[in-house]
Structure 1
């Protein structure tokens, strides 16, 4: 069984160097106490392109597959960025060989496979977390801090309008993540699950869901729009209003992917498409910008780096990460309830 303690210098291997894998490679090259030593990527040209953006001294060795990487390297942590369908087989190879692993979402492509992977990690004594980065976006972390400080009083509702504007036409998603097009379950499984997790991060546990979903673009297999209502144990409500074919007024529509409002008894927080938070006190007409530090780097305010560094910091401190797979699976259970509600037209208690 692998030893759970992490050494002072954590040797990291990454699986996958595709569109999103590049953000992971860059993150590990910058995280203190981590050494990015290997990447498994069968496409040599893709690997070369991903590594070209890294400092020369931080470029890892490249292997054509996971088996070759594990055979050649003594790794402490493996970060999996491959497409969801590949997760179970990769985890079967990785979990017996390392003490710590992180896997991108959609985790294992589905609930039952995710449960099996979590159980396998437990059997091998391997810490396994899910790279769920939206809650690590700086504006979401700042919003939670303001809520906890009482800036809006008791929360009534959180609303997010997903409007990336990337889903129109016959070539939708081909340039970045073409496997999106074949997903039979798409917007909720791939995208809205981010905000299931983020809503829970902001307002606590959910107790029920109701959903209507639809497909607008006939060029893809799954749904690309819909409305989901969430009940919270506190009595608050959540609304996710998603449409990947519509956009919002932002210079970079992928920065926040949409706009958010968090309403409470004492005021309202508003997130705009430039990553700015605005607070309007109850009864007032003017908003005040809430300042917080962040970098407009890579994806979503450098949230990939924030997520990986946060998970590693928790593990180094000997505490569980909030992104541990066994805990993260709750998001996937809620996702399953969303699809059940959409299929039956019923409110689904959780």
Structure 2
């Protein structure tokens, strides 16, 4: 059933939450009615900044007071299960940041809780809503590249060197036992699925290049999509790429087909070169170079809002997102066991 407007509570005031509050506040038909944080002072500060009427350090109390349509959980994975349980008891829909829960089992538990309570559970997976990937998807669907046989994304954020790596923005990155894949490559697992479909197998070789952090920060992941189509994620957070903003695209992509080749550069320019042609031409498209990743948080939240206003299908439900987490676990298994993992063997 469609709605005329949406009442939202946001939980969390960490670094990335600023993009959520900004997006909600820019949309008509939306009222942020409450902000929650474990530190009341931080909640109060965000309430003042975004003109939110209620702030609290207790999520259940805030939800009972404000009775929103949905709660946007922008807190670390360890908090997700409790938040979903609270919302489910009160019959309130949930948007949950990624990483979605701490493990596949926790994620499956949250999906089950939501289903039994009859609430919607949506994962805030925003990379597929980066405008360049929406445009690339249009190109792929048009068939202008022919049969796509190879794709590669080279992640080069340049923020992972030395003892100060990540401290200025997200210091908890240093202490994550699983880092590159669990925190970052999960975005590209989802994006590859969005662009190319479901992979048949995966092979991974992960490593740690900065001894000052706990988890892996570099690695290569090979996805076999069948029909001779393969994609490579080649990630290293210590290295950079040619760009005026290394957090815009976070790297470079190339997709090759039997009729041509598409390239994405660090300035978010998309280039098309026909098969046998010497030069590539830039593909024009509109996008906003603001906030994070071409304003992808706004694009994601706008997509979710349209689901409520017009009942259009939602792309990123919690249940569907379990496929990404199964793939993540297969990546770690592959690297640990040094072998290709057939994804058909992954249990539901």
1:133 and 2:108 are equivalent in the alignment: no
Is the Cα contact below 8 Å between 2:271 and 2:280 reproduced in 1?
yes
Q: Which runs of 5+ in 2 are unaligned?
A: 344-348
Q: Distance in 1 between matches of 2:212 and 2:70?
A: 38
The C-alpha deviation readout for 1:234-256, integer Å capped at 9, x for no partner, is 43101000001111111100001
Match of 1:349 in 2: 342
Contact 2:35–2:46, Cα closer than 8 Å, also in 1: no
Q: Does the 8 A contact of 2:11 with 2:71 survive in 1?
A: yes
1:213 match: 206
Gaps of 5+ in 1: none
User: Residue 177 of structure 2 aligns with which residue?
Assistant: 184
Q: Give the aligned partner of residue 222 of structure 2.
A: 229
Residues 43 and 56 of structure 2 are in contact (CA less than 8 Å); yes or no, is this contact kept in structure 1?
Answer: no
Equivalent position to 2:26, from 11, 15, 30: 30
Per-residue deviation, 1:175: 1.5
Q: Is 1:241–2:237 an aligned residue pair?
A: no
Tell me, in whole angstroms, the C-alpha distance in 2 between the residues paired with 1:137 and 1:49: 29
TM-score by length of 1: 0.94
Q: 1:260 aligns with which of 231, 253, 258?
A: 253
Residue pair 2:35, 2:47 contacting (<8 A) in 1 also: no
8 Å CA contact 1:204, 1:234 repeated in 2:
no
Check whether the contact 2:100–2:123 (CA below 8 A) recurs between aligned residues. yes
- Provide the aligned length of Structure 1 versus Structure 2: 343
- Once the two structures are superposed, the pairs formed by residues 43-122 of structure 1 within 5 Å of their partners are 43-47=39-43, 50=46, 54=50, 58-122=51-115
Q: Which residue pairs with 1:201 in the alignment?
A: 194
Separation in structure 2 between the aligned mates of residue 157 and residue 257 of structure 1, nearest angstrom: 20
Query: Alpha-carbon deviation of 1:60?
Result: 4.6
Greater CA deviation, 40-49 or 122-131?
A: 40-49
- Alpha-carbon distance in structure 1 between the residues aligned to 2:216 and 2:268: 27
Decide whether the 8 Å contact of 2:70 with 2:93 is kept in 1. yes
Question: Matched residues in 2 for 1:275 and 1:266: separation?
Answer: 22
Over 3 Å counting, the alpha-carbon distance change for 1:47 and 1:289 in structure 2 is farther
CA distance in 2, matches of 1:94, 1:221: 33
SS of 2:90 mapped into structure 1: coil
Q: Residue in 1 aligned with 2:317?
A: 324
Moved over 6 A (4+): none
Q: How far, CA to CA, are the matches of 1:187 and 1:50 in structure 2?
A: 30
Q: 1:96 to 1:153 in 2, by over 3 A?
A: same
| SS state at 2:247 partner | helix
Q: In 2, distance between residues paired with 1:117 and 1:13?
A: 19
The separation in 1 between residues aligned to 2:201 and 2:253, in whole angstroms, is 21
Q: Normalising by structure 2, what TM-score? A: 0.95
Offset, 1:51 = 5.5
Q: What's the offset of the Cα at 1:177? A: 1.3
**Cα RMSD (Å):** 1.6
